[in-house]
Structure 1
Amino acid sequence: MNCPIITSKLRWNGPIADFIENLPQLVMLGSQSVGKTSIIERIIGHIGIMPTGNGMVTRQPLHMRLCYAPNVEFVAVVSESASLPSLQDLESRNVTNKNYRVAQSTDEMRKHITAALKKNVWLDVKPLFVKIFSSKAPNLYLIDLPGLITIPADDQPDDLDEQIRNLILSYIKQSNSIIIAVSPANQDIANSESLKLARQVDPSGDRTLGVLSKYDLLGEDERQGKPRRQQAVDR
């Protein structure tokens, strides 16, 4: 049994939860509609598995355990519980408490996640858990969070922006969190809300990786300025 498989088992087994608190986790951070979904899908290796739409689509933390399975195209499990079955359990149907939904395709996974997401609240701090088995997926623990906003809409709570910010801070301040701060490539990096928030908890940048999204929106002149933008991120 290799290390990634051991890590996968540790991450999801409740009795040793205290031990696994220090295992690395990638935390996606960015403003609303910045393109985090596209980046996540490319990390996973499958397109079209995440809910998309206008406005605030992600309303609660989404914890995703990616498990490399060489002989599996795609199998996913979605649940409100962190206790999820292994691939062996799914194949042998050796499951006693089936509190989850199984997806055999990317379309099924997107539908299951959409159905499980809370629609009657703007923000829920309780995570939704997803476990993905695929020959295209790396062994990673990935957390997607609601996007940062600046001004709540008329039908949203007045302090929704602060609620989201506090939720994000509770994740990225953890020493085992590797912060993936996503910023649109067509925006001046000096105005990046994600990098600004990451710097609050990681001023040295040791745990922060800046990622530029929507690079296709840049004109040719702007693309020539990429090295300057990269230098701004490095600083």
Structure 2
Amino acid sequence: MSNKDSAPPTATLTATLPTQVIISTALHFSILLLLFLLLFVSSSSPKVRVRVSKMTMMESLISLVNRIQRACTILGNHGGADGALPTLWEALPSVAVVGGQSSGKSSVLESIVGRDFLPRGSGIVTRRPLVLQLHKTEQGQTEYAEFLHMPKRKFTDFSLVRKEIQDETDRMTGRSKQISPIPIHLSICSPNVVNLTLIDLPGLTKVAVEGQPENIAKDIENMVRSYVEKPSCFILAISSANQDIATSDAIKLAREVDRKYQPHNFC
């Protein structure tokens, strides 16, 4: 039985962008948000509580979660490990982007950001989880990107962001087709985004091709499951618009880990 089999009824969302997208989550996420908000408000003075708007509290909450996620990675807590004890990542709300290889995950993420910055190619392109943290800035400010492993450098040329993602992946996995559970943290600050954190995961596959290890399909599935089976995880399941939704590996996986979800289509 998966972690979500005994969960309360779930809320789901589907889209065609032109890819088909399904978001699935359990009520645990709302409970976590409520607890964080209560902690935030209770720590403020009465005058501050009066002045602080709901939007400001939510932005502070998102910022807090982002900082905790970055701290977890620095301390070696990657969220995808198979440890016997629950990790701090287990309790953090997250949105995991799941899809088959060449399903359109990159196109969806770049549409959300409004920038071309992700590596492209055939076969397995995403070989490490990419924790993408979007920060909304004031209008007129310059857009820039920043990596956790390069905190003092701000990228304004997003083609260099793509190159750094590739280079950092190769530094961990070599130029082989191996995958690694250690995430890359990328923050994008722009007036054209909303405050949001997404986790881009390696694309699901059925067979090993192009020199990939024989066990690559199972390794990727295990990595994806280590994220999406957490009760606090939204599942953003993406499949190509020309694919039968009934045969989508991403949607099949979402249904397996969250069987009470109720999808709704949107365009």
Name the TM-score, length of structure 1 as normaliser.
Answer: 0.73
Partner of 1:103: 155
Q: After the TM superposition, list the runs of 4 or more consecutive aligned residues in structure 1 that deviate by more than 6 angstroms.
A: 17-20, 208-212
Match of 2:119 among 20, 39, 51: 51
Instruction: Tell me, yes or no, if the aligned pair for 1:30 and 1:194 is still in contact at 8 Å.
Output: yes
Match of 2:240 among 171, 179, 184: 184
Partner of 2:167: 115
Between 128-137 and 3-12, report the one with greater CA deviation: 3-12
Instruction: Tell me the matched-pair count.
Output: 192
Match of 1:160 among 208, 216, 234: 216
Q: Percent identity?
A: 32
Give how far 1:6 is off.
3.9
Q: Which has the higher contact order (CA 8 A, sep 6+)?
A: 2
CA distance in 2 between counterparts of 1:179 and 1:126 reads 20
Instruction: Pick closer, same or farther for the CA change 1:175–1:112 going to 2, 3 Å.
Output: same
Partner of 1:26: 95
Give how far 1:21 is off.
4.9
Instruction: Pick closer, same or farther for the CA change 1:116–1:154 going to 2, 3 Å.
Output: closer
Match of 2:253 among 197, 204, 208: 197
Match of 2:186 among 123, 127, 130: 130
Give how far 1:209 is off.
7.6
What SS does the aligned partner of 1:117 have? helix
Match of 1:64 among 132, 137, 141: 132
Partner of 1:74: 143
Instruction: Tell me, yes or no, if the aligned pair for 1:74 and 1:135 is still in contact at 8 Å.
Output: yes
Give how far 1:201 is off.
0.8
Instruction: Pick closer, same or farther for the CA change 1:191–1:100 going to 2, 3 Å.
Output: farther
Instruction: Tell me, yes or no, if the aligned pair for 2:65 and 2:92 is still in contact at 8 Å.
Output: no
Between 164-173 and 109-118, report the one with greater CA deviation: 109-118
CA distance in 2 between counterparts of 1:193 and 1:20 reads 25
Instruction: Tell me, yes or no, if the aligned pair for 2:99 and 2:249 is still in contact at 8 Å.
Output: yes
What SS does the aligned partner of 2:108 have? helix
Partner of 2:5: none
CA distance in 2 between counterparts of 1:186 and 1:158 reads 28
Instruction: Tell me, yes or no, if the aligned pair for 1:68 and 1:134 is still in contact at 8 Å.
Output: yes
Give how far 1:11 is off.
2.2
Partner of 1:227: none
Gaps of 5+ in 2: 1-51, 78-86
CA distance in 2 between counterparts of 1:28 and 1:37 reads 10
Q: How does 1:217-232 map to 2 (within 5 A)?
A: none
Match of 2:66 among 5, 8, 11: 11
CA distance in 2 between counterparts of 1:106 and 1:66 reads 14
Instruction: Tell me, yes or no, if the aligned pair for 2:206 and 2:217 is still in contact at 8 Å.
Output: yes
CA distance in 1 between counterparts of 2:135 and 2:237 reads 23
Q: Does 1:141 align with 2:197?
A: yes
What SS does the aligned partner of 1:114 have? helix
